Amino acid sequence: MFRNPSLLFTHFRHFRRRHHHHHKLRHRFMSTISHTLSHPIYTIWAANTGLGKTLVSTGIAASAITNPPSTVIYIKPLQTGFPLDSDAGFVYRKIPQILHHRNTQLSLLASNQTLNASLPAAKSKLGNDFNQNELSTKNGFGEIGFSEERKVGGENGCELICKTMYAWEEAISPHLAAEREGAVVADSDVLELLKKCLKIGVGGSNKGSVLSLVETAGGVASPGSSGSLQCDLYRPFRLPCILVGDGRLGGISGTISAYESLTLRGYDVDAIVLEDHGLENEVPLLSYLRNRVPVLVLPSIPKDPLDNLMEWFDESQSVFDSLKEITISSFQKRTERLHEMPKKAQEIFWWPFTQHKLIPEEKVTVIDSRCGENFAVHKVEDEGCITQMFDACASWWTQGPNAALQIKLARDMGYTAARFGHVMFPENVYEPALECAELLLQSVGKGWASRVYFSDNGSTAIEIALKMAFRKFLVDNELLLNIPQDNTLDSRIELKVLALKGSYHGDTLGAMEAQAPSPYTGFLQQPWYTGRGLFLDPPLVSMCNGVWKITVPRNIHAKDVILEDTLTFSSHEQVFNKSRDDSSLASIYSTYISDELLLSSGSTKSSHVGALIIEPVIQGAGGMLMVDPLFQRVLAKECKIRKIPVIFDEVFTGFWRLGVESAAELLFCKPDIACFAKLMTGGVIPLAVTLATNDVFKSFVGDSKLKALLHGHSYSAHALGCAAACNSIKWFKDPQTNPNLAPEQKFLRELWDTEVVRMISFHPAVKRVVSLGTLFAVELQVGDDDAGYTSRCATSLLEKLHEDGIYMRPLGDVIYIMCGPCASPQVCLRMLNTFYARLGEFWQGKIQNAREVQS
Amino acid sequence: MFRNPSLLFTHFRHFRRRHHHHHKLRHRFMSTISHTLSHPIYTIWAANTGLGKTLVSTGIAASAITNPPSTVIYIKPLQTGFPLDSDAGFVYRKIPQILHHRNTQLSLLASNQTLNASLPAAKSKLGNDFNQNELSTKNGFGEIGFSEERKVGGENGCELICKTMYAWEEAISPHLAAEREGAVVADSDVLELLKKCLKIGVGGSNKGSVLSLVETAGGVASPGSSGSLQCDLYRPFRLPCILVGDGRLGGISGTISAYESLTLRGYDVDAIVLEDHGLENEVPLLSYLRNRVPVLVLPSIPKDPLDNLMEWFDESQSVFDSLKEITISSFQKRTERLHEMPKKAQEIFWWPFTQHKLIPEEKVTVIDSRCGENFAVHKVEDEGCITQMFDACASWWTQGPNAALQIKLARDMGYTAARFGHVMFPENVYEPALECAELLLQSVGKGWASRVYFSDNGSTAIEIALKMAFRKFLVDNELLLNIPQDNTLDSRIELKVLALKGSYHGDTLGAMEAQAPSPYTGFLQQPWYTGRGLFLDPPLVSMCNGVWKITVPRNIHAKDVILEDTLTFSSHEQVFNKSRDDSSLASIYSTYISDELLLSSGSTKSSHVGALIIEPVIQGAGGMLMVDPLFQRVLAKECKIRKIPVIFDEVFTGFWRLGVESAAELLFCKPDIACFAKLMTGGVIPLAVTLATNDVFKSFVGDSKLKALLHGHSYSAHALGCAAACNSIKWFKDPQTNPNLAPEQKFLRELWDTEVVRMISFHPAVKRVVSLGTLFAVELQVGDDDAGYTSRCATSLLEKLHEDGIYMRPLGDVIYIMCGPCASPQVCLRMLNTFYARLGEFWQGKIQNAREVQS
């Protein structure tokens, strides 16, 4: 069958069609994934097809079920070649045989059930009983509910429960069988059903030990029914693994590669087992694994199909006993560790922004893993479980990728670490740094920036920005001549920033000096803080009672009367409308700013406002304050007129946080310098950049190194950060990877249901609402004595939402839900609704309390 | 063949023996790896054995050789089953057959050569000609130099050169064949010979195009002769790859896993090709690869051994033509990019600590990858090449891992990114952060620290340390009562640090304020710098003319005469000897420090020294200044007496940089607070920690969040950084992974040959030498007008060393070579010798110049 290039092209198109088809299936709304920790649950994977996964499952099951008498649950999620091939059926038949052969006197209750079968498979299985009209069918599957059961001996013995979740007739890969038999099951349905099956054996009457085994189909990266690779499909559960390796010639390579594919998805492989082919493949495997993962060797498997394998199972018994022991001991080790983690964390961590005295052990959240926007957390209730929570604080506003992108990012982190590690940046060039800089200048820097300065976090990016701005200001205003040649401190010039109250630019001293006094800047926190700025009170915007409203501080409009209709809007689009430039409010702003600047520099010739620094549109850490975009635009304009460089701190707002790639787009104006971090690396590692115009750069060019910008950190432009940034920048803006973007569209679709948001803004517990892009924030209505950053008023509300699977962290009386740029609007809606419901309870409770106090 | 547990144990021991054996082979001294960029060189890998790698090589060779007439070089580094199996022989025989079959009128010169064969293989090959005594043998190999050649047609046609580098007789994995036939070849020898073979076709008379193909053995992760996996073995070349995938049932998984194993080692896979088995495996492969890597399908391969395959090669021709085109176009794309990178970098990067005007395009180094401590850089000379350079500035002092550890670290970066990405730290706990904190407290924090505060880089770690120290000082000295309740700036208290001149703690303002005025702190650089410290001039130690000597600043011994014998030492061990505490010098130091502290606080009641901050032993950025450890010990003691918290800035010195895990060990004293970064993560990503005693922590505990330490960065304790740190901390201190540590030993072995170091210290071009742990530094003898940080005196010397493959970056007139804790002393010796030789030339040049100026 010869494929010429045009046929190859057909494959491409073919793939695209199929991809779209599956795409839909993969993105269906998914309920919370969780599984018990009451007993060990293992997944059996293999390096290739035909390596004896089912024999391994059977052997482990036989060891586990008898000593002591226990329950074994065997689950085969995807079975092809059915009913001729039925791995569950094999286990169901073999275990009684083995027990009989071993002369155990134990009783056994065994069952085998097939839940769904494609119609051809159902027909084969049911034979004459098959009647399509009587069968309950869904997506091409019949719920055949086939089930068999047998009982040997008396009560209180051991129990075997075998389940096949989905079966197809043809003995090929599930994705092909599903397509050919017209029975494709969505990933979410597989996970949902598996979750149900994993609940078997929890809290049952049988108080003996329980072991669950989930056997996959084919190799680790063989596609499941929807086309997703199985190692990706089952990832949300992240169950511990046993890998069946390959003992044949070439099998070392296949086994190592399969192991790497599993670890590259965050799985823990607790044991490798392989059939002996006389090649001692276990020796290089152990060397590779540095003896940290046990490698066990099974005797050669008889090839005669008539062999009942009893002798082989006898010979293999000690290996299977070892495997069983490994499952038990690894499970114990894992659960013990999960239990001790909160205490240990409390003892040795020093959490930032956290008063340790207020965090009792039981409030510490143990995060076992992340899958896209969900944490998998450990809960100790009942018999313990791992359950998902939505990371609604986006892990300090950094998170972007969904589960699929996370795995791709992980692969690229591995590649980049292997290719570059980190390499020296100054005077050098390497691909990830160059591509990252190119992408930045083509995206958030487009049309104004021409240089990229790398650093490690928002705070350092700001310090760099300030150094850039001040130099530019000194050059432009011809103040450099006033600096003595010996380059010492010149007390004749004092440089200040122009900044807004409520803004926040980071925790290092230079960044702190650029912000107005706040709880973060007190003497107790930073004795060196002085506040080197002219700090203005900005007009703020928020939604109250269904209307977007601007609140203008009194000192701005001291002299003027502001027309009410310039202050209220029915949608946030109107707030951002550029036609507001012609409003009377614009001239009020302009006059106010001019006056303030004059006042500030007028006092003394030596004091200058050398830079404007603002967070465009939203002041994050200040309490999700939305500043009137018109005010910020006028501010920037007034500064540009006076040759005061304009810095945009987009550390929080950049990269789609506010629904556009750069928040500057919402202001319709360009800065001279801008800082980015957080979302830029897709929420995986720290990296920050300060972008600058060529004019800014030029003020550092000269003959001496002393004129260069002498600021840098060891890992400047580290390859991993740059590679992560390259990926996320591209993925977030590509409609192929970001379902919230239509082609050619520069705005994310609305993620927060407008009606529910309006409804919430009417709630008596709510003072104001801000919803924009990926951010939904609410300031709670509290008494003045409990307002602000140190407020703990939201505690009870957040605890309830925590129970609902939404992980939030408040900014005092301001609470927020933040999602990634690729988040599903359905998930956002579910969260909004949950929030609204809990808000009602919360308010009732407050009223109740108030009444009790009164009476 | 049944394996009981005791037999399994035997395997473990067996492996260990073998491992040690190979260990030695792997660490042999290796000369510089390089390869040409005059023509494409591809490696042919496969997902498994028996997938038709040689057919693919042959097919590509046939396409490449004829159109236009070209030279194809085919190299088979490791061949087992020889001479019955000889892939080079197959290519050698098939190509003429194919050309004949295709009726090309081209002439062909074809040769086939086998370079080394194990004795059994040599015997089989040579038959009656075999005479062991006549054969030149080495490590069990005979240099059989077997060679055959044939010529078809006239001159100026195409040429085929086939080479087998090492051959074994048995048809098993090379590591087994090598062991069984007593002929193991070290990795370094394989690389050396491959480097030689890759030179064929460079600059030859044949001006037609050239293509080299290197065909591996078995699967991607199949062991080579020494036991190293082939994907690791060939990594130093990082040649682009063609992967032969698996078209069979289960083959999707194997192909994806093999692809992931290659990318997880930093390889670029430019194409995947697989045999059609009617399963359309290419469809899910393309979906997985998101169409970014082409997947080509070959027609089914005839199974009949008598088939001469001419028909199959005909049918496959278009696929092989495509593959050939891919090699050519990818190669062109790659070389074009390499050539444009310096210019682009110059246009859009803004390098830290770099005066762009001084860096012309040709001085920009293009780093294609890193392999352990070596960069692979692009050189444009001749026809262009990729060559290795030793990263002697340890990429701004961060690098530690060797090539093997780099790959392990990459694997763990992939795992951690897949498992966690980054998750929120405050109030939470997750494994990498907890393990990292545990390891830190058991290692560098042992015996004093009880809390770990995470941040992003040395500078932020220092800002945090200062905040901690000041709070502790205020609490201990009961000054908190003086702070007004409203928490505003209290002008009555001024806190200063006690620090040493020449110290450097980072570039953010808070860290800068803690250092004495320097080129970095001028008004031009940071207009906000004031220098909030009492800065003392420290006594320095260095080797001059073969002797370690202390230079004490005049103001320290103004009143006292210092005995000469307390100032000179024959080894650095003596400098660190604790018995010096009893010397007269110790009391001179003590008196001096007391006086200074009294003077400083005496002036005004409101001014306090609130913290001591020092870089223990070596002040890095200040110019690799070694401070008298006795002075620092006395300093810490005097501060502790006065309840002034002691901060050790170990950002540079920590984690074996100075030959011990923590430089505090060299001072024999413990700090209250210490900062670590750089080497901590194995030189891969930024992460910093500030360690503190429980007493320091307690001064932040209270009922209000305002009393907590309100400093944090978004990626606080990010999982990747913590995981990297866990690995490096363990590897560096484990004699199994760090060959420079003997078991139970707390010091690295001497890496810098004492005699050569002494010799260098006598050189007239050298002012002083410091060598300690992984650091070797030299201050050059220059005129006063060209001294210090801005000096460019070393430029010509560094350019020469650059040519020698040593990448260095100076600190003005101070130049240094820095290696990792696991570096080979042989490599260090080679660098010292090279340095010494170039130093001579450099000095001769200076003298010559001086003479010319005089005359």
> What is the DSSP annotation of A659-695?
SSSSTHHHHT---SEEEE-GGGGTSSS--EEEEE-HH
Which run of H or of E encompasses A41?
strand A41-46
d(C-alpha A44, C-alpha A38), whole Å: 19
Interface test with B, best of A267, A413, A520, A718 (most B CBs within 10 A): A413
Amino acid A519: pLDDT: 80
SS3 of residue A439 by DSSP:
helix
Number of Cβ within 10 Å of residue A448's Cβ equals: 18
Backbone angles phi, psi at B45, to 5 degrees: -110, 165
**Is the separation of the CB atoms in A531 and A517 below 8 Å?**
yes
Average pLDDT over residues B595-615: 86
Chain B contacts of A276, Cβ < 8 Å? 1, 3
The answer to whether the Cβ–Cβ distance between A353 and B172 falls below 8 Å is: no
Handedness of CA A556, A562, A564, A567 (dihedral sign): negative
The alpha carbon of residue B188 is apart from the nearest alpha carbon of chain A, in Å, by 19
Average pLDDT over residues A719-738: 96
Query: What are the structure tokens assigned to A644, written together?
Result: 């005061």
Which residues have a Cβ under 8 Å from the Cβ of B195 and sit 6 or more positions away? Answer: B33, B34, B35, B237
Amino acid A19: pLDDT: 38
B640-693 confidence digits (pLDDT tens)? 999 999 999 999 999 999 999 999 999 999 999 999 999 999 999 999 999 999
d(C-alpha B810, C-alpha B392), whole Å: 10
Range name among A316-330, B77-91, B318-332, B548-562 with the lowest pLDDT average: B548-562
Query: What are the structure tokens assigned to B704, written together?
Result: 């209000």
Report whether pLDDT(B792) > 70. Answer: yes
A279-295 confidence digits (pLDDT tens)? 999 999 999 998 789 99
A165-196 confidence digits (pLDDT tens)? 999 999 999 999 999 999 999 999 999 999 99
Amino acid A154: pLDDT: 66
Backbone angles phi, psi at B636, to 5 degrees: -60, -40
Report whether pLDDT(A26) > 60. Answer: no
Which run of H or of E encompasses B841?
helix B825-854
Average pLDDT over residues A378-387: 91
Chain B contacts of A443, Cβ < 8 Å? none
From the list B47, B176, B369, which residue is nearest A419 (CB)?
B369
Amino acid B24: pLDDT: 38
Q: What does the angle CA B31 – CA B35 – CA B37 come to, to the nearest 5 degrees?
A: 160
Report whether pLDDT(A5) > 90. Answer: no
Q: How high is the ipTM of this complex?
A: 0.94
E strands of B216-354, at which residues?
241-244, 269-275, 295-298
B134-175 confidence digits (pLDDT tens)? 778 888 999 888 899 999 876 668 999 999 999 999 999 999
Spatial CA neighbour of A243 closest among A407, A414, A42 = A42
Strand partners, B296: B273
From the list B12, B283, B509, which residue is nearest A15 (CB)?
B283
Interface test with A, best of B19, B170, B285, B413 (most A CBs within 10 A): B413
Chain A contacts of B427, Cβ < 8 Å? 351, 354, 359, 363-365, 809
Chain B contacts of A278, Cβ < 8 Å? 1
* Predicted TM-score (pTM) above 0.80: yes
Nearest-by-CA chain B residue for A239: B419
Report the mean per-residue pLDDT for chain B.
Answer: 91
The alpha carbon of residue B829 is apart from the nearest alpha carbon of chain A, in Å, by 23
Chain B contacts of A414, Cβ < 8 Å? 263-264, 410-411, 413-414, 417
DSSP state of A709: -
Average pLDDT over residues A563-581: 92
Q: Are strands A385-391 and A210-215 parallel, antiparallel or unpaired?
A: unpaired
Which residues have a Cβ under 8 Å from the Cβ of B720 and sit 6 or more positions away? Answer: A413, A684, A685, A720, B413, B416, B417, B420, B422, B432, B685
Query: What are the structure tokens assigned to B230, written together?
Result: 């082939």
B192-221 confidence digits (pLDDT tens)? 999 999 998 787 655 569 999 999 999 999
Amino acid B562: pLDDT: 81
DSSP state of A100: H
Query: What are the structure tokens assigned to B737, written together?
Result: 């992974």
Burial B118-148 (b: 16+ CB within 10 A, else e): bbbbbbbbbeeebeeeebebeebbbebebee
Amino acid A588: pLDDT: 95
A487-507 confidence digits (pLDDT tens)? 454 456 899 999 999 999 999
Amino acid A136: pLDDT: 81
Spatial CA neighbour of B541 closest among B503, B569, B511, B522 = B569
Please give the span between the terminal C-alpha atoms of chain B, in angstroms, as a whole number. Answer: 88
Amino acid B21: pLDDT: 39
From the list B282, B345, B493, which residue is nearest A429 (CB)?
B345
Place of tokens 């409308």: A577
Nearest-by-CA chain A residue for B354: A708
Amino acid A230: pLDDT: 98
A229-262 confidence digits (pLDDT tens)? 999 999 999 999 999 999 999 999 999 999 999 9
B99-142 confidence digits (pLDDT tens)? 999 988 889 999 999 999 999 999 998 888 888 777 788 889 99
Q: How many CB pairs under 8 A join A and B?
A: 687
Interface test with A, best of B444, B470, B685, B730 (most A CBs within 10 A): B685
Query: What are the structure tokens assigned to A19, written together?
Result: 């991809």
Prior bond to A810 cis, omega within 30?
A: no
The answer to whether the Cβ–Cβ distance between B369 and A265 falls below 8 Å is: no
Amino acid A1: pLDDT: 35
B250-266 confidence digits (pLDDT tens)? 999 999 999 999 999 99
The answer to whether the Cβ–Cβ distance between A713 and B458 falls below 8 Å is: yes
Report whether pLDDT(B5) > 60. Answer: no
Q: Are strands A673-676 and A646-649 parallel, antiparallel or unpaired?
A: parallel
What percentage of chain A exceeds 90 in pLDDT? 81
Range name among A744-758, B203-217, B415-429, B514-528 with the lowest pLDDT average: B203-217
The answer to whether the Cβ–Cβ distance between B508 and A460 falls below 8 Å is: yes
Range name among A128-137, B118-127, B713-722 with the lowest pLDDT average: A128-137
Amino acid A3: pLDDT: 37
The answer to whether the Cβ–Cβ distance between B257 and A254 falls below 8 Å is: yes
Backbone angles phi, psi at B384, to 5 degrees: 90, 145
B353-408 confidence digits (pLDDT tens)? 999 999 999 999 999 999 999 999 999 987 899 999 999 999 999 999 999 999 99
The answer to whether the Cβ–Cβ distance between A395 and B345 falls below 8 Å is: no
Spatial CA neighbour of B113 closest among B70, B76, B63, B164 = B164
The answer to whether the Cβ–Cβ distance between B260 and A263 falls below 8 Å is: no
Nearest-by-CA chain B residue for A276: B1
DSSP state of A811: B
Report the mean per-residue pLDDT for chain A.
Answer: 91
Which run of H or of E encompasses A385?
strand A385-391
d(C-alpha B116, C-alpha B140), whole Å: 10
Amino acid B13: pLDDT: 30
Average pLDDT over residues A774-786: 87
Which residues have a Cβ under 8 Å from the Cβ of A383 and sit 6 or more positions away? Answer: A36, A37, A38, A202, A203
From the list A254, A300, A711, which residue is nearest B1 (CB)?
A300
Amino acid B2: pLDDT: 39
The answer to whether the Cβ–Cβ distance between B318 and A422 falls below 8 Å is: no
The alpha carbon of residue B526 is apart from the nearest alpha carbon of chain A, in Å, by 6
Residue B358, judged by CB atoms within 10 A of its CB (0-12, 13-18, 19+), counts as middle
The answer to whether the Cβ–Cβ distance between A413 and B409 falls below 8 Å is: no
Nearest-by-CA chain A residue for B686: A715
Amino acid B144: pLDDT: 85
d(C-alpha A678, C-alpha A655), whole Å: 9
From the list A266, A430, A711, which residue is nearest B367 (CB)?
A430
Spatial CA neighbour of B290 closest among A184, A681, A231, A15 = A15
Amino acid A145: pLDDT: 82
Strand partners, A297: A274
